[in-house]
Structure 1
């Protein structure tokens, strides 16, 4: 009896007139659509101007894509992209970093708060991060379909073997498989879904948005503590990480965890939120 799962799902769902529709892109789109509907429900419940909603998602999408791309180029492959700057714009070839996306969203919300809501950034983040946790889970499932960002070899019965010569295999070559490995994309996706369920309960049942920064702080700890610990069993994304005590993903997670702890403490000790 095999003690692993051989993963041979094609990253593309369909090819239409030479253009591929990929699972990764579909997961991304579904996440943003669901996110839009959740925040719309929040705005209606609180009688917030719905005109703010369309602007919010334009800022968030731009911040996510630009930040994630620049984050990958700066944090993981600067030697290459500094020598080939035009390659930075070839986003369709892959290369996105979640920490860069997080930084991009923070900058986008800072601009959004200044130009649109004229309220604190925490006002927006306490609402926005609820669906963002679900988007994160869907993006990790997209990584699964792309046969990427998986973990160390293991003999656990739910280990996955991934295609390592993906492009050649997709053009007819025999597949070359990885050793049975931790499906860390699934581990992260499950954790992010649990964070999403918790945040939904905090917002809609517990009215935790009344304590400014609490939901955002719990989100930061839930997402980045998950990322920090799973990185211990995840393969390095770049060769330079091989001799590091903590890899780049873990180092970049630490500031978000610290900020999350501060926001939770601030929200729970502050007598009244400023809404």
Structure 2
């Protein structure tokens, strides 16, 4: 019998004045700022042209927003958006898909590699995904603040009661709470934080970037395998998923996990390629 639970009453809006500032948007912005600074440190460490970083930032920001929005519209609600195409532009109303964001970034890095660095895409990915893991954790924390993407009902003592009538509650109505549910946003955020720590260790302590694709492959496994598993206790995002053996999030995760395993095996089966200035890490 359930004796304990957590009633979650966090307000999604950090500031609700002339301009509304939401925690989700703030975490998103913090992630990009911190990520930029981390990438700058990597570029300086390897004495890479810093102008490349400015271009990379633009490519990634645009690709993340467009990819995540289009991913949501195409993968989860195409029946609606195909009939209301102008609604796709209303990003501020919510509806972003991480798999779409991942696809968008892959396309952007392909263009970036051809037009800017003229290097293999894996060179960029092996560095970029280190801060991206942190961004993923921050985004899931934003989902927690938004009372969204939570899991099935649970009797575990850390079950969260989320506010169902969030928009009405923010306007002054009495809250209507869910039954205690798995805080799957926290589960995912913790997995991504652990992955972030692992990738930092691989880059700064193990020179893993000398094995092309190893860091990127580890990232793909570390992001999408936990996502696949946690989906089993997460509420489906759309009605059509109720009749599916695996939901859309799981189906979209499988190719990324397979790609990650292949990249790790490929990287470990090839000799290291020493990178100039990498020895400075040991000072």
**Normalised by the size of structure 2, how large is the TM-score?**
0.95
**Structure 2 residue 19 is matched with structure 1 residue 6:** no
Tell me the alpha carbon deviations over residues 30-65 of structure 1, each in whole angstroms, 9 at most, x when there is no partner: 111111111111000000000100100100000100
**Structure 2 residue 278 is matched with structure 1 residue 254:** no
Tell me which residue corresponds to 1:137. 137
Aligned residue for 2:164, secondary structure, equals coil
Q: CA deviation at 1:176?
A: 0.6
**Structure 2 residue 209 is matched with structure 1 residue 200:** no
| Alignment check: 8 A CA contact 1:267 1:273 kept | no
Mapped to 2, the partners of 1:2 and 1:115 lie a distance apart of: 59
Q: CA deviation at 1:274?
A: 8.9
Mapped to 2, the partners of 1:274 and 1:123 lie a distance apart of: 13
Q: CA deviation at 1:270?
A: 1.2
Q: CA deviation at 1:244?
A: 0.6
**Structure 2 residue 17 is matched with structure 1 residue 16:** yes
Query: Pairwise mapping of residues 181-200 of structure 1 onto structure 2 (< 5 A)?
Result: 181-200=181-200
Query: Pairwise mapping of residues 38-117 of structure 1 onto structure 2 (< 5 A)?
Result: 38-117=38-117
Aligned residue for 2:243, secondary structure, equals coil
Tell me which residue corresponds to 1:147. 147
| Alignment check: 8 A CA contact 1:150 1:234 kept | yes
| Alignment check: 8 A CA contact 1:212 1:274 kept | no
Aligned residue for 2:87, secondary structure, equals helix
**Structure 2 residue 70 is matched with structure 1 residue 31:** no
**Structure 2 residue 170 is matched with structure 1 residue 167:** no
Q: CA deviation at 1:173?
A: 1.1
Mapped to 1, the partners of 2:225 and 2:16 lie a distance apart of: 38
Query: Pairwise mapping of residues 203-214 of structure 1 onto structure 2 (< 5 A)?
Result: 203-214=203-214
Aligned residue for 2:47, secondary structure, equals coil
Tell me the alpha carbon deviations over residues 111-156 of structure 1, each in whole angstroms, 9 at most, x when there is no partner: 0000000000000000000000000000000000000000000010
Task: Quote the RMSD (CA, aligned, Å).
Answer: 1.1
Mapped to 2, the partners of 1:124 and 1:214 lie a distance apart of: 12
Mapped to 2, the partners of 1:212 and 1:85 lie a distance apart of: 40
Q: CA deviation at 1:271?
A: 2.3
Mapped to 2, the partners of 1:273 and 1:241 lie a distance apart of: 45
Mapped to 2, the partners of 1:192 and 1:130 lie a distance apart of: 11
Mapped to 1, the partners of 2:94 and 2:274 lie a distance apart of: 41
Aligned in 2, Cα 1:111/1:274: closer, same or farther, shift over 3 Å? Answer: farther
Tell me which residue corresponds to 1:268. 268
Aligned residue for 1:83, secondary structure, equals coil
> Which blocks of at least 5 consecutive residues in structure 2 are unaligned?
276-283
Tell me which residue corresponds to 2:280. none
